[in-house]
Amino acid sequence: MKRLTIIAACLLFATPVLAQSVGEKTGVNSTLGIAPTTQDFVTQAAISDLFEIGSAKLALSNGTAAQKTFANQMIEDHGKTSAELKKLATGALKVNVPSQLDSAHQGKLDKLNQARGADFAPLYASQQVDAHKDAVNLFERYSKSGENAELKDWAGKTLPALKHHLEMAQKLDDTNSSATVGKK
């Protein structure tokens, strides 16, 4: 079993293009702190924006007052980063920008869409924390070691806003957790 693991690891590192794509999909790159390829970064950043905007729209009709305020900020900020990313990606980079969610994010959005009443707020809050942790990780890795200088710079400039979003999401999660302590 050890030998098979070592062989698999060698194959991943021997084929950088394949390793980046597979590594990004499986989370290996994140665990190892490896920057995604430019295409993987654009794909994941665009999907992240789509998810943030889609889930924020659901929060506007189902969330708490604090979540609605947060959701409005997410729609504005992620709408802006989506436009900037599309401009960079379709300009000099010539990489594909997805216009729909992947199956994993669509599943999360579907689950959120089905949540009602008291079930919505904690799910939305926890999804936002997880999504922003993933985004911060993605943008940190690309801003440090990305392939394209212009996109790398943009990732670095976008990172502080994502970190702020994470802090805001954690406060939503904390507020929700403290509101449910002792209930059940």
Render pLDDT for 11-36 as a digit per residue (tens, 0 to 9).
Answer: 444 333 333 355 555 455 556 567 88
Q: Look at residue 174 in the predicted model and tell me its pLDDT.
A: 72
* Token pair listed for 40: 């993987």
Domains of the chain: 1-34 (no CATH), 35-180 (1.20.1260.10)
- Phi and psi, residue 89, nearest 5°: -70, -40
Comparing 5 with 132, the larger pLDDT belongs to 132
Judged by average pLDDT, the poorest of 17-31, 64-78, 103-117 is 17-31
3-state secondary structure of 90: helix
3-state secondary structure of 38: helix
pLDDT bin (cut points 50, 70, 90) of residue 181 is very low
Q: CA separation (Å) from 114 to 35, 106, 117, 118?
A: 35, 12, 10, 12
N-term to C-term CA, the chain: 46
Q: Are 123 and 173 in contact (CB under 8 A)?
A: no
Longest alpha-carbon distance in the chain: 55
Query: Quick check: 46 pLDDT over 90?
Result: yes
Judged by average pLDDT, the poorest of 23-32, 77-86, 123-132, 144-153 is 23-32
Q: Are 155 and 141 in contact (CB under 8 A)?
A: no
As a whole number of angstroms, the distance between CA 16 and CA 10 comes to 11
Side chain identity, residue 129? V
Comparing 63 with 175, the larger pLDDT belongs to 63
Query: Quick check: 147 pLDDT over 50?
Result: yes
* Residue matched to tokens 């999504």: 131
Percent above pLDDT 90 for the chain: 70
Query: Quick check: 66 pLDDT over 70?
Result: yes
